[in-house]
Structure 1
């Protein structure tokens, strides 16, 4: 018996505006052009839907082209910086700084994109009472707790009161002086 290969329908990803698009002037120009394109319908609601679809289409195509190139540019820029650093004997310092600034701009775009993606995941999965949400909350709570400290004698202190006393003692020592010399000079320098 012959089996038929039925292609699976891939779910189309929902369109989301990428925050990193704001870093490129072309994105706002694309939206304006798409919005000002002549409408094919007379109905205002259908015209608005048509414009939104046009914006979506143009932004999606532009983003694929622009940001796929950006990934390659980051790699090329990092290679360029490595080459400059290997050849540098002191005369290429400015060129290296400029290349690093350019690489930082490119990396910032990637950083914004991934921050937004992480936030989207948190918003979609974190609002539900899921294992993922509880794990994130538990991990954060664990990393934000001081369970024990070592005192100046090398003894472990784990009681809440003892830890509070150690913190207080530590910061009191830092911000007080046991042997102030010429406090007038210090105060005068702060007033100047």
Structure 2
């Protein structure tokens, strides 16, 4: 059995559809022959009515979402935990080869990675040919 709420939703949808149709007619007129100032005021009033309907729909869904949260709790916990664990697993480095040596402990892996990047970004002594300090007067 449908209650008053179902009829109210159908009424709002019908009203919203009628408002959108009227706005479309006015837009077509505006593109063709143009609108009078009174027609523009009427169009703005239609838009304001449409915005009120949108706000009431948003409030309805916000309240309904809150009710579902209170009644059911977070139904997606297992899903989100699986995603988070999968991401953690995907980003983890369980072992690392250093030449012929297999590093398996997190401390060894961390030390190897740290020393690799420290060596990579450290300043190297300059080699090659250079000018003496007093070459330019």
Larger Rg: 2
- Identify whether the pair has TM-score above 0.5, normalized to the shorter chain: no
TM-score range, shorter chain: 0.3 to 0.5
What's the TM-score once normalised by structure 1's chain length?
Answer: 0.31
> TM-score under structure 2 normalisation?
0.41
